[in-house]
Amino acid sequence: MDPVDALERVAYLLDRQLAPPQKAKAFLRAAEVVRDLPDGELERLHRAGKLGELAGVGDSTGRVIGQALDGRARPRGRAGGHHRGARR
C-alpha cells in the first residue's frame, strides 16, 4: 500500500471510530507532508531511520509510513487493529 493511502486510510478509520479529531488530522497532515516530498526522499529517510525528522511525522504516523514502505500495511476495518471485544 502506498504510504499516503495508508495514512489517509488510518485517518478515515479514526474518524469513523469518533476518535478525537486531532488524531485523524495528524495522519492527514503527515499524508500531505509525504505527498509533497521529492521522488525517492521518503524511501531514503526510511532506510536511514529518519522519518521522524519530517515536520508533521511522529511515532504513530512514522510507523504507518514504514509499514507501507516495507509492504506490511494492510487495510483493516478498524484503526489500530483492535476488534470488537478486544481488551485494552
Sequence spans of domains, the chain: 3-75
Per-residue three-class SS string for 21-46: HHHHHHHHHHHHHHHCCCCCHHHHHH
pLDDT tens for each residue of 1-55: 999 999 999 999 999 999 999 999 999 999 999 999 999 999 999 999 999 999 9
Domain 3-75 sits in CATH at 1.10.150
- pTM of the entire structure? 0.82
Give the C-alpha distances (Å, rounded to integers) separating 71 from 27, 55, 56, 60, 83. 19, 23, 22, 17, 22
